[in-house]
Amino acid sequence: MAKEIRLMKGNEAVAEGAIRCGCDGYFGYPITPQSEILEYLTVQNPYPKTGMVVLQAESETASINMVYGGAACAKKVMTSSSSPGISLMQEGLSYIAGAELPALCVNVVRGGPGLGTIQPSQADYFQTVKGGGHGDYKLITLAPASVQEMYDFVGLGFDLAFKYRNPVMILSDGLIGQVMEKVEIDDYTPRWTDEYIAEKFPWAMIGKPASRGHNIVTSLELDSAKQEQVNLRLQAKYKVCEENEVRYETFQVEDADILLVAYGSSARISQKVIELCRAQGLKVGLLRPITLWPFPTKAINEISKHVKGILTVEMSAGQMVEDVRLAVGCAVPVKHYGRFGGIIPTPTEIVEAIKTF
C-alpha cells in the first residue's frame, strides 16, 4: 500500500515522526525556530491514542533532565530546542552520556553567539561533535537535509540511541525546521510495553523485583581507577560506533576536480552549485555527511586522492572544515566558504568561491 504523503514543516515532521515511531515522552521548552515541535505535539495530543507523554517544562535545563529520567526507565524520550537552549542542556547531555542512557535531542540551529538571531545557522557543529558538555563523551549526530529526513531521523535516532545506549543529536537548522516539503508517513509503531523493556533492557528503572539486585543509574565513580575503566569502556563503544555507523552520500564525485563537503541546508544549496558549475564546465562533486559524528573521515580521505581541492560550505565561520582537514592531511588544499549570523549563502556566491579556489 502506498504510504500517506503530507505537506509539512520540518519541525512538524519531527513531531509526527516521534508520535509514529512509538516515542514515550517529549519534554521541551519554547524557542524559535523550533517551537512548532512542541506546538504540534500539544495540538495532536498523542497521549490518549499512543500513551506518549508531552510536557512543557519550565526550562531547557528541566527538559533535558526529564529526558534523563525517562531514559533511565529505558523509555523512548526526547527533547528539542535551538542553540541557546541547547547550550543550557549541555550538563544534562553529559550526564546522559556518562550514565550511558539512550535519548534523542533535536537542535534546530539558529545564529549565535549569545542570543544571536533566529535565522538558520550551522555554528553549533563544534558544540555537538566536539563535546559541548564536560568530560570525554560523544553524541551520535544526524544531520538532516530535508523534511523527510527530519521525520525519518527521529526513528533512526532512537534506534541508534538504544543500540549504543548513547544520546543522539539531530543537528538541523532553522531552514530545514521551517521549510515545507512533502513527507511520506509511516503507520504507527506501538510503544514498547513495560514487559518488553524489562526483558530487553535489564538496566532500566522499572522497580526492583525480588529476583534481581537494585538497578542504579549514575555517572558518578569516586574511585579514579574505576572511572578510568568507565572512560575506556565509553571509548571502546565509540570506536565500534565509528566503525559501523558512518553515513554519507555523494553526488558526482567520480570525475570531480573540486569536492564540496557540506551537510544539512548547505548540502542542498551545494547540489544547485554542482549544477551551475557543471554548466560552466567546472567538474564539481559533493560529499554530504549524514552522520557528523561519527564523521565520514575514510570516505573523504579516499576521494581526496583524486581531486585537486576540497571546499567545505558551512553556515559558520568554519567548523566542520577542521574535521575535513584531519581526514585529508596535507594531500590537497582544504578551504572553507561560509556565511554566518543567520545568512544563507546563495549558489552563485559559492560558484564564485569555487572559481577563485
Partner 1 sequence: MTREEIIKPENLVYRRTPVLTDNVMHYCPGCGHGTVHRLIAEVIEEMGIQDKTIGVAPVGCSVLAYNYFDVDFVEAAHGRAPAVATAIKRLHQNHFVFTYQGDGDLAAIGTGETIHACNRGENIVIIFVNNGIYGMTGGQMAPTTLPNMKTSTSPYGRDVEVMGPPLKITELVAQLPGTYYVTRQAVYTPALVRKAKKAIRQAFENQKLNKGVSFVEIVSNCNSGWKLTPVKSNEWLEENMLPFYPLGDIKVPAKEV
Binding site for partner 1 (CB under 8 A): 24-25, 27, 53, 55, 57-59, 61-63, 65-70, 72-73, 75, 77, 91-92, 95, 99, 194, 205-210, 213-220
Angle between helices 90-98 and 60-72 (to 10 degrees): 10
**Whole-number minimum distance, CB 79 to partner 1, in Å?**
10
Query: What residue type is 252 in one-letter code?
Result: Q
What cell numbers appear for 105 in the block? Answer: 535531542
> Computed over its alpha carbons, how large is the radius of gyration of the chain?
21
CA distances, 335 to each of 119, 129, 267 (Å): 24, 20, 16
- Contact (Cβ atoms closer than 8 angstroms) between residue 194 and residue 28: no
C-beta closer to partner 1: residue 118 or 206: 206
C-beta closer to partner 1: residue 51 or 329: 51
C-beta closer to partner 1: residue 213 or 281: 213
Backbone φ and ψ of 151, nearest 5°: -70, -55
Angle between helices 10-20 and 147-164 (to 10 degrees): 40
C-beta closer to partner 1: residue 64 or 143: 64
Buried b (16+ CB within 10 A) or exposed e, 253-283: beebebbbbbbbbbbbbbbebbeebeeeebb
C-beta closer to partner 1: residue 194 or 242: 194
**Whole-number minimum distance, CB 231 to partner 1, in Å?**
17
**Whole-number minimum distance, CB 161 to partner 1, in Å?**
16
Nearby residues of 92 by Cβ (< 8 Å), 6 or more positions away? 61, 64, 65, 67, 68, 133
**Whole-number minimum distance, CB 70 to partner 1, in Å?**
4
C-beta closer to partner 1: residue 26 or 337: 26
**CA-to-CA distance for 141 and 263, rounded, in angstroms?**
12
Map grid coordinates 561533535 to a residue: 129
**Whole-number minimum distance, CB 27 to partner 1, in Å?**
6
Nearby residues of 247 by Cβ (< 8 Å), 6 or more positions away? 142, 289, 290, 291, 296
**Whole-number minimum distance, CB 68 to partner 1, in Å?**
6
**Whole-number minimum distance, CB 225 to partner 1, in Å?**
18
C-beta closer to partner 1: residue 89 or 140: 89
**Whole-number minimum distance, CB 81 to partner 1, in Å?**
15
**Whole-number minimum distance, CB 93 to partner 1, in Å?**
11
C-beta closer to partner 1: residue 41 or 292: 41
Torsion 272-273-276-277 (CA) sign: negative
What cell numbers appear for 222 in the block? Answer: 569516586
- Contact (Cβ atoms closer than 8 angstroms) between residue 297 and residue 348: no
**CA-to-CA distance for 67 and 64, rounded, in angstroms?**
5
C-beta closer to partner 1: residue 64 or 260: 64
